[in-house]
Amino acid sequence: MKSRLNQVLFATAVALGSAGAAQAAEGFYAGGALGTPDYHSSIAGISGDGSGVGGKLFGGYQFTPNFAVEAGAFDLGHLDSASGHVKTYGGYLDAVGSYEFAPKWTVLGTAGLAQAKFSTSNGDDNSPGVKLGAGLQYDVAQNVAVRAQYDRYRFSDAFDTKPSVGELSLGVKVGF
């Protein structure tokens, strides 16, 4: 009888602990990240690898432990070459999938839409695009996590080309 009671108490504690973890994972969050840009294509006749510091500010809502919707503003640093200068910035909306593969460690995948403004020494242009990303997240505390992420932006029409820009970033996410 005592063994059965211990089993029931253990199962109840595990169930309550799981429900608490899922409940803590859901809700609003915000964060920011700093990154380095990687320009993969020419923009307005200007080409190079990119330089400077980029970054993003974001906020979202975690609907379940494995799904969130996130919106943010990004700055993809700048590109300088002998042929000119490019600065890229804008906003995005992503669906975020996540999976905790070890205690405190989560793998992330993002897919969404972006809108960017390209300011160049040859003029300005805007373009919508697709944004894909992948990363790792480590939970430092219950509501604080550190993220390392790579985002790839593929724009559809800037200066009659389809520029592609990537950014590797390191940031912090805070839940509310």
Domains, the chain, ordered by start: 27-175 (2.40.160.20)
Contacts of 82 (CB under 8 A, 6+ apart): none
Does residue 15 carry a pLDDT above 50? Answer: no
Contacts of 17 (CB under 8 A, 6+ apart): none
CA separation for the pair 69, 136 (Å, rounded): 17
At 40, the amino acid letter reads H
Does residue 70 carry a pLDDT above 90? Answer: yes
- What is the per-residue pLDDT for 73? 98
- What is the per-residue pLDDT for 104? 95
- What is the per-residue pLDDT for 84? 85
Give mean pLDDT, residues 94-105. 97
CA separation for the pair 23, 144 (Å, rounded): 15
Greater confidence (141 vs 17) lies with 141
Ramachandran quadrant class, 72 (left: phi over 0; alpha: psi -120 to 50; beta: rest): beta
- What is the per-residue pLDDT for 25? 63
Does residue 127 carry a pLDDT above 70? Answer: yes
- What is the per-residue pLDDT for 147? 97
Q: pLDDT-based confidence at 6, cuts 50/70/90? A: very low
- Cβ count within 10 A of residue 151: 25
